[in-house]
Structure 1
Amino acid sequence: MGRTYRLLTAAAAITSLGNSGAMVAAAFAVLHSGGTATDVGLVAAARTIPLIAFLLIGGAVADRLPRHRVMAAANTLNCCSQATFAALVLTGTPPIWQMALLAALGGTGQAFFAPAAEGMLLSCVPREQASRAFASFRIGVNGATITGAALGGALTAYAGPGWVLAADATAFALAAALRSALHTNDIPPRTHRSKTLLQDLHEGWQEVADRRWLWVIISQFAIVNAAFAATQSVYGPLVAREHLGGAATWGTALAAFGAGTLLGALLMTRWKPRRMLLVGACGSLMAALPPAALATTLPPPALAATMTASGIGVEIFAVTWMTALHQEIPADKLSRVSSYDWLGSVGMVPIATALAGPIQNLTGTPTALWGSTALITLLTLAALTVPDVRHLTRETAHTRIERQAAQPTTARPLGARANPSQRAVPSPPPSRS
């Protein structure tokens, strides 16, 4: 892989290491300041709301400007907000509104960073190396996330949350420096024709709307991610406390899920399924396993095994999804499409986590968990009924030549993609997150 890919992967691992520890530290910073569980939720929501609000604008900006500059600017904003957060915690007891404001600045930075980062990564990888490159990238990010959560928890307990937040600010500063040093000579130039931001947003939406497989999967994961998030953040800790021995059991289960994502990414460095989304969607069915395991209160070893299997399946989807976007979306629209993808992935999560408690109070925990299982399963099966999802085929050198040769005769506009269900390709074969 080229220098750009290596720098992007290193920077992503550094920020993932800092971010996963900072999530633990931020919650304990609120509690140490005298806040309640409700205050922890408010600070978390303060980060999520601007993330959702600015994602589409962030995607349009990243397709207009040099993506590595947008990423570096977003990292700088995150560095400043986390450094201020750390200073307030280390020097006193900041009020909740200040922590919420700083969290909101962090969410704003993420809204501009995420589409630019995904567009940059997708555009710098050669087609013949795409699947392996994305799997290797995910290994680095997932490994850093697991390590960061463990180190962040230990450092928060030993030295206090302020130092973990300071370490996260340092990670953002280092990542901004790495991303500022990126060269884009090996990335194909983008042609930008839109005159206004609104036109950019419309073009991005048109790219999504014109591909049935794309909007079907985005719609599916809007609900699947919400149900999965409610399981991980609300129902899992509750079941662990009441039936499985407490927080240590749930921590082990989450670690097992993380190990599963590493195994899944490692598998995808070798496996290149031809029908990418068929395999990916089948993998995403494994997201239904954790709520089912919790609903039946499986013993801790069985729960850990289930979480590992779920992590493998989710990661198979993640890599095949990135490969499909890389293959099918024009390079100059990658960030805008990515912003719609991100919006679908996170848009329903705050609502789901807010409603998880009331639903559990109304129906009982097992019923709520079985509801999550049913939603994930039925929506994934519904996605699999769509021919474009089942038939989207990995491009080979031979089919790429055929596709390029067919373009002049079919008079497709520059950058347009063939309908995957119409390709004359022999057949046998969800990120977020």
Structure 2
Amino acid sequence: MNVQDVRRQFPILDQDVNGQPLVYLDSAATSQKPKQVIEALEDYYNRYNSNVHRGVHTLGSMATDGYEGAREKVRKFIGASSMEEIVFLRGTTTAINLVAGSYGRANVGPGDEIVITPMEHHSNIIPWQQLAKATGATLTYIPLQPDGSLDLEDVRNAITEKAKIVSVMQVSNVLGTINPIKEIAEIAHENGAVMVVDGAQSVPHMKVDVQDLDADFFAFSGHKMCGPTGIGVLYGKKHLLNAMEPIEFGGEMIDFVGLQDSTWKDLPWKFEGGTPIIAGAIGLGAAIDFLEEIGLDNIEAHEKRLAQYAMEKLSKIDGVTVYGPGPNDRAGIVTFNADDVHPHDLATVLDSDGVAVRAGHHCAQPLMKWLEVTATARASFYLYNTEEDVDKFVDSLHKAKEYFGDVFG
């Protein structure tokens, strides 16, 4: 993998920000888009913009082929057994809400348990909170180890025969923790629960095989994997999706509409009401082509090297605390704080040097409470980042510490 060749595919990286070359270290929030994804979107709008499934004219057929062709690319990319198991939605948030609102409402009741972890993104907490409140179920948490990882003995103790749903992120968007999803799924299934996986931070960065993981539901977003915003995927095992009712109704998802009752289309279309996200799906298909050409194993190894390099550099700076597992056990995410400097102030100074990092609670307030902080700064790496990016980031961090040390020292 030649990183410089990869970087040339991303037009946005070739610019100065605040008079400095852009160093983009916020890919966990959203990734940048390569030329071929941008061109795929332009081609759709310039050449065959049309609605799908409805028209028999040429443009409609081309749009349908592009949309459904993208579904097949997703199927292969995550190892699903059928295109019927791939539902296009707005993103991870919408996908998890669909599972909670449809499967959860039908299968969870008083006395049942929903099991998650304190490291989850809000999108994988709030839908389960609402489901528990609506059904009388109990929301249970698997405790974290001191380094922010999960111990399988704790998993076994937390998942009992009362559990109906277990929902865990594969990779933490804050700590970089890589969770043992396959083993957690096995424990969930032994107790009769379904396994839901938030794959927003894993699918863009490592090979994922939903059948090998034995996930019952798996959700992820296109915009974090070089694709457009507003497109995401829910994978669900066919028998589970078949048994679920839609929670959004209207055109496109219906089979027959009468005056008093209606019936739904087959999978996956019964969950895709209204005009679907056509351009987004086509762009996501182009992003998958791009990532597969480079190779997910190459991407994962590259990001881990950068994270390890960054952690080595940060460990030499007095007063900097890095959160999460050791460098060999995390994805390409490094979350940290610097003594006596608020993360927002830190990010502002770094931005003045053209270095883009994230600062805040990262949609993970329960995890912030567990860390005993109100916010953190986060550098997240992707296939287009380099060791030079890390060097610039660390140099800028030194400047920020010196600046605030002079001001408040």
Give me the TM-score of the superposition, normalised by structure 1: 0.25
Between structures 1 and 2, the one with greater helix share:
1
Give me the TM-score of the superposition, normalised by structure 2: 0.26
Between structures 1 and 2, the one with greater strand share:
2
